[in-house]
Amino acid sequence: MAGAVRNFLRAAGLAVEGELARTPERVAEAWAEDFLDGYRRKPSAVLGELHASPGAGLICVTGIDFHSTCPHHLLPYRGLAHVAYLPGKGGGAKVAGFSKLAELVDVLAHRLVLQEMLAQEIAAAVQRGTGARGAGCLLEAEQNCLTCRAETKVRARTITSAFTGSLTRDRDLTRAFHDAIADARRSRENSR
């Protein structure tokens, strides 16, 4: 990877010396350890041990910081992920640890993936991994494709969402999810 970066810099007409001498190794390390490390982990293994929680209602975790990379231009995007799911019914209902949901977001985001596909993959992985009746994911992100290229739109943000199972059919559940996101946003703004 470092060799490819070195060749890229040379192809751009830059001398790989002085300040750029260690750039190929730094870039390779950043991509391997921070941008593409999600490929080394299986989403199905991330949620870990589930805990019994009969009677649990809609579970929402909002404001999860994430970053990913667009496969079209290899430019990063970053923002907030909001995840919700409705556990299975009865005594067999299982829930995941909250930190494990954030870890799942990172595993799926640290790949080359479009934002809209990332939302779908997160919702599907949460439902599959917890046995939930339904799941949802809403992503708010700053896309560097919009903010740094051509006619820049520095305040532009993209919002994508995906729902599975009961969250696709039950408007009250999706409204509760959106209300939880709005409440968390207000709380963050008031604490500043």
Domains in the chain, ordered, with CATH? 2-35 (no CATH), 47-190 (3.30.1130.10)
List pLDDT tens digits, range 8-40. 999 999 999 999 999 999 999 999 999 999 999
**What pTM value is reported for the model?**
0.93
List pLDDT tens digits, range 82-106. 999 999 987 778 999 999 999 999 9
The encoded tokens of residue 41 equal 């982990």
